[in-house]
């Protein structure tokens, strides 16, 4: 856990620093926001920023966002600074720690933000085989390609591998290749020199250098532009990178992990992914099975999420009824673990007693759990599909049908682009291009968390 404290290091803040170090955190200090930003640009990374509440927290968060540095911010200050604490939370701080500091509170906040990621919950034999393979290869420096549907836990298994590697004490840095615009991804990965492009106000160390000595996870690698893949291949082969606008190569010492929810062999055949890069990444392939093929995990995870969200919301302990457990195992879970977690969080809030029954478990599209389980049978799904097609497709153009399918799927996922692209079997970049086209045509396109009916 790397903690960067921003503010005057004296008095109670010094005490908080000592408590954090006693709790195992590696602590660095920056007396001002400018110095903190310079430290982050230079690759001296952090997992959490602890900031004096009297500093310009809104300005700090704006600076982080402007340079695409994603870090949680926790404010701290004396108890009399109530207004400043409220402003800090409104500005985007995740938590507020009152001073004088309490050791248990500081430890709890650090644990909540950092979370131990070297272990995770699984019970099913299908997942056990994956974990045993991960244990076998964790100690090497071999690149690993982790594949599976969206929401199956690819990043979780990546952190598991890192936690059991020889690099466990070094940084674990993750980059979502689908979430960062193409024009910025090269700078995000390799860094840039001052003045190398408009907005490059200072040298910025990229994720490759920040992860040096540790592990770099390239999440959703299939969405990377093919032109940037050539530069990535060189970095993996030669363990050197070139900053944007730089004049000399920079050596790096990292282990590469990558994830994809697409079939990279198909992407190679389509020409959207380099075959030589796939071979470099795919020294070992950990293919995570979908949740519907891991019934043992469905029950174990369901019980965990019910207990977790009852406690998080200050509710009495909850337990799943026998009927709910049976329906959970039969449901299709196209969104996998992520969908299961969100569904059970909602169920805990909607249940009226200590027992969570199937009536309280409602899927994101409004369908009840028992109904979804019935609809997931092959015969029922075929009948529903045939009926829907006969009702809805006659007289419509192919473009109309495609648009309707894409937007209906986006509604089903509450605007989640990655989940929708996975269901549709297309890349997230193709989905975004379609949505931009529809928006230009005047069609309402829901944002994440929205549905068209809610507009």
Instruction: Kindly tell me if the per-residue pLDDT of 391 is higher than 60.
Output: no
- Strands 73-78 and 95-99: what pairing? parallel
Q: Which domain holds residue 165?
A: 125-287
For the whole model, what pTM was predicted? Answer: 0.62
- Average pLDDT in the 196-220 region? 83
Q: For residues 347 and 427, state if they share a domain.
A: no
Instruction: Report how far residue 430's alpha carbon sits from residue 282's, in angstroms, rounded to the nearest whole number.
Output: 24
Task: Tell which of 344, 372, 400 closes a domain.
Answer: 372
- Average pLDDT in the 34-54 region? 82
**From 65-74, 117-126, 259-268, the region with the lowest mean pLDDT:** 117-126
CA distances from 343 to 85, 172, 265, 326, 447 (A): 32, 29, 33, 15, 20
More confident residue, 147 or 350: 147
Task: Tell which of 339, 372, 405 closes a domain.
Answer: 372
For residue 353, give the DSSP letter: S
Q: For residues 135 and 237, state if they share a domain.
A: yes
119 located within any domain? no
The three-state secondary structure class of 170 is coil
pLDDT band at 138 (very low <50, low <70, confident <90, very high): very high
pLDDT at 109: 67
- HSE-CB at 129 with a 13 A cutoff on CA atoms is 8
Q: For residues 149 and 240, state if they share a domain.
A: yes
Other CB atoms within a 10 A radius of the CB of residue 264 amount to 22
347 located within any domain? yes
pLDDT band at 79 (very low <50, low <70, confident <90, very high): low
**Number of domains observed in the structure of the chain:** 4
The residues facing 284 across adjacent strands are 144
CATH code: domain of residue 322: 1.10.8.60
More confident residue, 236 or 364: 236
Instruction: Report how far residue 15's alpha carbon sits from residue 9's, in angstroms, rounded to the nearest whole number.
Output: 9
Task: Tell which of 92, 114, 136 closes a domain.
Answer: 114
Own/partner pairs for 121-126, CB < 8 Å, 24+ apart?
121/297, 121/300, 121/301, 121/304, 122/294, 122/297, 122/300, 123/296, 123/297, 123/299, 123/300, 124/294, 124/295, 124/296, 124/297, 125/296, 126/289, 126/293, 126/294
pLDDT at 118: 39
427 located within any domain? yes
pLDDT band at 39 (very low <50, low <70, confident <90, very high): confident
pLDDT band at 68 (very low <50, low <70, confident <90, very high): low
Instruction: Kindly tell me if the per-residue pLDDT of 375 is higher than 80.
Output: no
Q: For residues 133 and 252, state if they share a domain.
A: yes
pLDDT tens column, 296-312: 899 889 998 998 888 88
Report whether the peptide linkage leading into residue 100 is cis, meaning its omega lies within 30 degrees of zero: yes
pLDDT at 390: 54
CA distances from 184 to 175, 199, 241 (A): 12, 11, 16
């Amino acid at each position: 856990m790397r903690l960067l404290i921003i503010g005057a290091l004296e008095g109670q803040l010094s005490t908080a620093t000592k408590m954090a170090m006693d709790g195992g955190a590696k602590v660095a200090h920056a007396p001002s926001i400018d110095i903190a930003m310079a430290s982050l640009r230079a690759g001296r990374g952090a997992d959490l920023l602890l900031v004096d509440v009297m500093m310009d927290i809104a300005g700090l968060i704006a600076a982080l966002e402007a340079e695409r540095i994603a870090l949680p911010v926790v404010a701290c200050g004396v108890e009399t600074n109530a207004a400043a604490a409220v402003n800090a939370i409104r500005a985007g701080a995740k938590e507020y720690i009152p001073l004088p500091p309490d050791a248990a509170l500081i430890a709890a906040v650090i644990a909540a933000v950092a979370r131990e990621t070297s272990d995770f919950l699984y019970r099913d034999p299908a997942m056990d085989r994956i974990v045993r393979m991960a244990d076998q290869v964790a100690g090497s420096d071999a690149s690993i390609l982790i594949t599976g549907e969206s929401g199956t836990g690819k990043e979780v298994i990546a952190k598991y591998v890192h936690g059991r590697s020889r690099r466990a004490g070094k940084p674990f840095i993750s980059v979502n290749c689908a979430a960062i615009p193409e024009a910025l991804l090269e700078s995000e990965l390799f860094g840039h020199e001052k003045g190398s492009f408009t907005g490059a106000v200072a040298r910025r160390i990229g994720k490759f250098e920040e992860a040096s000595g540790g592990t770099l996870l390239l999440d959703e690698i299939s969405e990377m532009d093919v032109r940037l893949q050539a530069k990535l291949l060189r970095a993996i082969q030669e363990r050197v990178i070139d900053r944007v606008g730089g004049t000399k190569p920079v050596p790096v010492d990292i282990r590469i992990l990558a994830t994809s929810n697409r079939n990279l062999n198909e992407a190679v055949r389509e020409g959207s992914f380099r075959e030589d890069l796939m071979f470099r990444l795919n020294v070992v392939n950990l293919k995570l099975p979908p949740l519907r093929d891991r019934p043992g995990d469905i029950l174990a995870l369901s019980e965990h999420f019910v207990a977790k969200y009852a406690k998080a919301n200050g509710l009495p302990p909850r337990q799943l009824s026998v009927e709910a457990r049976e329906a959970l195992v039969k449901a299709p879970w196209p969104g996998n673990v992520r969908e299961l977690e969100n569904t059970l969080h909602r169920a805990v809030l909607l249940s009226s007693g200590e027992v969570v029954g199937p009536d309280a478990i409602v899927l994101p599209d409004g369908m009840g759990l028992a109904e979804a389980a019935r609809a997931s049978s092959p015969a029922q799904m075929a009948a529903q599909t045939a009926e829907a097609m006969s009702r809805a497709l006659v007289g419509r153009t192919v473009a109309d049908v495609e648009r309707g399918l894409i937007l209906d799927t986006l509604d089903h996922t509450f605007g989640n682009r990655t989940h929708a692209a996975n269901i549709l079997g297309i890349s997230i970049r193709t989905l975004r291009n379609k949505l931009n086209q529809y928006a230009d045509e005047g069609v309402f396109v829901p944002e994440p968390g929205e549905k068209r009916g809610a507009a």
